[in-house]
Amino acid sequence: VLIGSPGSGKGTQAERLKTELQVPHISTGDLLRSAVRAGTPLGQKARAVMESGNLVSDEIMLGILEERLTANDVADGFILDGYPRTLPQADALEQLLGRLGQPLDAVVELQVPPENIIERTRKRFQAEGRADDEPETVRKRLEVFARQTAPVVDFYRRNGQLKEVDGVGTIGEVYDRILAVLPRSRDAATA
Ligand code: AP5
Ligand code: MG
């Protein structure tokens, strides 16, 4: 699991890690954005919530996750990006992984201060126009992270599964820090 505030680099790092670890990258944000683009009933429901910077309901998210984690390509593992974001989601994940017989190897937290987040999302808003990168919405997303997702980070810290990584630096520097905290990266296994 990759966890961290909006714009902390989860997606960027997961794209690199999936090549290293040879497992799929599952981003709940990307799954929701494709549903929005496709105009499915789910996408229609999710769109306004996402554009406001709030979280889509736990019930909807669990449905999406269950569907994705029961696909064939995740049998050897996966990188989860953007889930869990609430304590009920963390509970649901634990139960689902228990049922699938796939324990969580690590929860990596990318730590990036708000001023860097504001700068990164400002740039991306200019370049790509992602609706929720609008500055006011980024502030809301940071608030939502502090209120609803920080308790999830604390939960994993207390149960000893959390690996904290400094997310400021070049993409390569952050990537190396992640590999260094993973329990059994391919590097370690073949070294
Ligand atoms: P989601 O898509 O998950 O968005 P997010 O986590 O809020 O933010 P990002 O995806 O923007 O950040 P990221 O950490 O992936 O960083 P990235 O690599 O892109 O969720 C969107 C919305 O969907 C939510 O607000 C919610 O409404 C809904 N949703 C999703 N999951 C949900 C769930 N489980 N429950 C309920 N609702 C859910 O990098 C950001 C930018 O910085 C990029 O431009 C990148 O190029 C740049 N960058 C990356 N690394 C660096 C670096 N080291 N230095 C400088 N710039 C960098
Ligand atoms: Mg992302």
Q: 7: closest CA among 140, 98, 104?
A: 140
| Residue 132 contacts residue 121 (beta carbons within 8 Å) | no
pLDDT tens, residue by residue, 15-68? 999 999 999 999 999 999 999 999 999 999 999 999 999 999 999 999 999 999
Residue of the CA atom closest to atom 40 of ligand 1: 7
| Residue 107 contacts residue 90 (beta carbons within 8 Å) | no
Residue of the CA atom closest to atom 26 of ligand 1: 55
- Tell me: pLDDT of 191 over 60: no
What pTM does this model have? 0.95
Q: Which ligand is nearest to the CA of 7?
A: 1
CA–CA separation, 100 vs 144, rounded Å?
A: 30
Strand partners, 2: 81, 108
CA–CA separation, 92 vs 105, rounded Å?
A: 17
- Tell me: pLDDT of 186 over 70: no
Give me the sign of the Cα torsion angle 110, 25, 17, 180: positive
- Ligand 1 pocket by C-beta < 6 Å: which residues? 4, 6-12, 28-29, 32, 49-50, 53-56, 61, 82-83, 85, 89, 120, 124, 132, 141, 169-171, 174
